[in-house]
Amino acid sequence: MLSKLDAGWFETPLGQHLLFREQRYFDQAVSDVFGFNAVQVGLPHIDFLRNSRIPLRVHCAVEAPAQVNADPMFLPFESQSLDLLLLPHVLEFSANPHQVLREAERVLRPEGRLVLAGFNPRSLWGLAHQLKGGERGYPWNGTFLNISRVKDWMVLLGLEVAGGSMCCYRPPINRENWLRRLRFMEPAGDRWWAMGGGVYFLQAVKRVQGMHVILPQWKHAVAPRLLAPAAKVLNSKVINLNQHRISREL
C-alpha cells in the first residue's frame, strides 16, 4: 500500500497528469450510481467519490487519512451492504488481488457497482515498470495485472463487466514540458492504440440469479376436469327434481 512518500508521487508532473484523467473518469462513473452506501478503498488522500450522489461515502485504507482502517482483503463491512465500491490501484499493490475482488463481491448488494483502475502492463507504462523495477518507488513497485486476467476473475465471481476505458497513452516522462509536447498521443491512442493506455478502468455489476416458481403442469390440467363433472351432476339433479314435480302435479 501507499506510504507518505509514495503519496507524494501524485504531486509530481507525471502524477498530476495521471490524477487529472483518473479523477475525470471516476467523476463520470459515480455520478449515475444511486443507493445508500459508497466506499472507496485505497488512495485515501484522493476523493474519487466527490461527485457521487450517495449520502454515505467512506474512505477505507490501511493508511491515514482513511476514515476506516482495514486491509482490502478483509473489509469490515456487512455482506451485501454497499451500493458502490471503488478500487483505484488496489489490486496491483495487494498480495492477493483475487481475494480483494472476492471481498468486493461479498460486500456489494445485488446490482451494486464496482469501479476499479489499474496500471496496464501492455503499454509504455508497463515497459517502464519492467525497466525501472521496484527501486524507483510508486507506481513501479506494484505488480501490473493484465486486464484480461482481471476480467476473468470478475466473471468467476459473478461480476458482470459493464464498461471500461483507458487513458495515459503518453510515455511516463516526469517532465511537464515533455508531457505537454506529447499531448497529441492521447486522442491518437484512443483511435489507433486503444488497448495501449497506461491505465485501464473497469466497471462491473454484481449479478444475482433470480428465482422463478415453476408450477407443475398437473395443476392446470386437473382443475377443469374437477369442475366439469360437478356442473353435470348439478344439472342432472335439477332435471330429476323438475320431472318429479311434474309427475306429482299430474
Angle between helices 97-107 and 147-156 (to 10 degrees): 40
**Cβ atoms within 10 Å of 12's Cβ, excluding its own:** 14
**Which SS3 state, helix, strand or coil, does residue 81 take?**
coil
| One pLDDT digit (tens) per residue for the chain, 250 residues | 555 556 789 999 999 999 999 999 999 999 999 999 999 999 999 999 999 999 999 999 998 889 999 999 999 999 999 999 999 999 999 999 999 999 999 999 999 999 999 999 999 999 999 887 656 789 999 999 999 999 999 999 999 999 999 999 999 999 999 999 988 888 887 777 878 999 999 999 999 876 454 555 645 544 444 444 544 444 544 445 455 554 555 4
Q: What SS3 state is found at 190?
A: helix
* pTM of the entire predicted model: 0.80
DSSP of 49-75, one letter per residue? Answer: TTT---SEEEEEESSTT-SEE--TTS-
The pLDDT score that the predictor gives to residue 217 is 60
